[in-house]
Amino acid sequence: MWHFIAFISFLSINTSYAASPLWSWEKELSLEKEQTYQALIQVGDVQKELIFRWTLYKNYGLVIHLRYDKFNHQFVLYADYQRNAYKISLGKDTQAHKENPHLLIYFKDFVIKDEKAYFKLYIEGQGASVVNESISPSKKKSKDEDSVTDSNEGGS
């Protein structure tokens, strides 16, 4: 009986490890409208550019524009389960498609007051890494700076 219990516990522990995804990279990200996230992703010997931004939040849906490896994608993400993620293959489409690394973009939340969308990005699998990344300056901040400059110039 003891051997049976040990075997079942061993099997359940190994199964739980096998079911969990292997994240080789992850990042939390917040973007304002039209603010762009840009990353250079190393896949094998090749570097590929990823650019994405959101343009509209309506009826709890966030419209995303993504460009990866010179291909454009447009999709809508929602904060609820099963419609909150987008998965894109980072490698070549081959017979072993499941073995290729993938980028997963999860839409976590949208704060209406701040007009900010919150994301979690993951690279699943091996063979891809983020070499360089940047976020464009907020357009909201530049508008605020312009209005401060205009009011200072008007007062002289």
Contact criterion met (CB below 8 Å) for 87 and 100: no
Per-residue pLDDT, 11? 55
The residues facing 106 across adjacent strands are 85, 120
Q: Is the full-model pTM beyond 0.85?
A: no
DSSP 80: S
Write out pLDDT tens, residues 18-45.
556 788 899 999 999 999 999 999 998 9
pLDDT at 100: 86
**The amino acid at 118:** Y
Model confidence pLDDT, tens digit, residues 71-129: 999 999 998 888 999 999 998 765 555 678 999 999 999 999 999 999 999 999 888 99
Q: Could you tell me the end-to-end alpha-carbon distance of the chain, in angstroms, rounded to an integer?
A: 90
Q: In what order do the strands lie in the sheet with 46-58?
A: 71-78, 61-68, 46-58, 37-43, 128-135
